[in-house]
Amino acid sequence: MIMPGTVRVGIFHDDEGMTLPVYATALSSGVDLRSNEHAMIPPGGRLSVGTGIRLEIPEGYECQVRPRSGLALKHGVTVLNTPGTIDADYRGEVRVILVNLGENPFEVERGDRIAQMVLAPVSRIEWTEKDLLSETGRGSGGFGSTGK
């Protein structure tokens, strides 16, 4: 696998004080994404929150947007489409869809850590239509079928 050297990040010029995404610790898998706006999410509500950054992701990679465990545990706030995918050809602002599953309104302040982002390789294959597929022990057993 070819490893990317760097990911170019564009920070909107009118967003004074916004910084590059950073790893919280030396062994963190993802970087923190920070809010670039102030917002209030009511209980049961959802909102697309801007981060003020754009990315140039290398071909063969994607960025996955994931929840922060502390927000989920303490406030019931999580990323709605988890993991969210940022494709290598997207050049717009990275936005995070947050949902408030908690009982209280949740206030997002500019600069708050709202999600994590992980750079991941993407596999591309050729899809082929077939009338018959190989048999397996599981067959067409669906949800809960392996817990017998």
Write down all domains in the chain, each with its CATH number in brackets: 24-121 (2.70.40.10)
**pTM of the complete model:** 0.84
More confident site: 4 or 8: 8
51 near 93, Cβ under 8 Å?
yes
% of the chain at pLDDT higher than 90: 76
CA distance linking residue 70 with residue 81, whole number of Å: 18
122 near 60, Cβ under 8 Å?
yes
pLDDT at 93 over 90: yes
How high does pLDDT run on average in the chain? Answer: 90
> Could you say which DSSP state residue 23 is in?
B
84 near 21, Cβ under 8 Å?
no
The secondary element (H helix, E strand) that includes residue 54 is: strand 53-56
The secondary element (H helix, E strand) that includes residue 78 is: strand 77-79
pLDDT at 123 over 90: yes
CA distance linking residue 25 with residue 102, whole number of Å: 28
